[in-house]
Amino acid sequence: MVVMASGIEAASTRRRSSSDGTGFWHTTFIGTNRIIRREYPEHPLSQGPLPELGTLYPVGFLVEQDPGSTVRAHFHEADQFQVIVGGAGRMASHPVEGIAIHYTNAHSPYGPIVAGERGVHYFTLRNSYDRTARYMPEARPDLRELPRSFREATVAPLAPTPPERLTRTEQSCMEAITPQEDGLGAWRYRLPAGARMSGRDPHSGAGQHWLVVGGELIGPDQSVLRPFSLIFVSPDEDPFEVIAGAGGLEILCMQYPDRGTIRGAATLT
């Protein structure tokens, strides 16, 4: 399963919403979620039954958190990456701006997420469905009843590459999160115009999200995907082939760990 979502097509789902008193704009890219079902009930992703918890089911959405607001510390039922792509703020004690990556295991409390004066914008990415955020300290008793392995990682802010440099940059790969034995890892690739490469073997983890952060990605159908377009590659696929467009390409790959918690695949609605 390879799922691709362009930023242009996803823009139609942008809706105003709030959670725990914090306001934000929410845009759905891949998979269903509680916000699109509540705010956009006529959308196809709002129809049909919810995915079964613990099955492979890619999710990706963009949150534009209001300036000066705070999302309290909380946890989710699914492993999760967050990629900061706009504004600035703080993830717990870590300053985040530019391009920054955050990862947490399921049932690992993290935060608060504090937005600066320009707000803070971030993609939330998961490889399985999550019903809702569990806020602390109210949800602390729930953690005692759950099998969990705490893990959190925050990558320091990475300055985006200016567009005029992408077209002539040398092809490179930087480890944003050093690969772990269970497959967890994140990589930042830069490719000059027309260059191509194959990503990491998906069999080594539990799925990959790819996020275009600069330039152009040429899709398998020759479509042009620009920032911020999103791709999910399931663990049974061959390595994803990346082809840079005329503007060069800067793209992130984030691979989920294979922790033995995914039981087969759900149907992507």
CATH number of 2-157: 2.60.120.10
Per the confidence metrics, is the pTM higher than 0.85?
yes
Rounded Cα distance between 85 and 63, Å, is 10
- What CA–CA distances, in Å, run from 229 to 76, 136, 156, 215? 24, 32, 22, 11
Q: Domain coordinates of the chain in residue numbers?
A: 2-157, 160-255
- Of the candidate ranges 52-56, 104-108, 137-141, 164-168, the one whose mean pLDDT is the lowest: 164-168
Tens-digit pLDDT profile for residues 35-89: 899 888 888 888 888 998 889 999 999 999 999 999 999 999 999 999 999 999 9
Tens-digit pLDDT profile for residues 174-194: 999 999 999 999 999 999 999
Query: What size, in residues, is the chain?
Result: 269
CATH class of the domain defined by 160-255: mainly beta
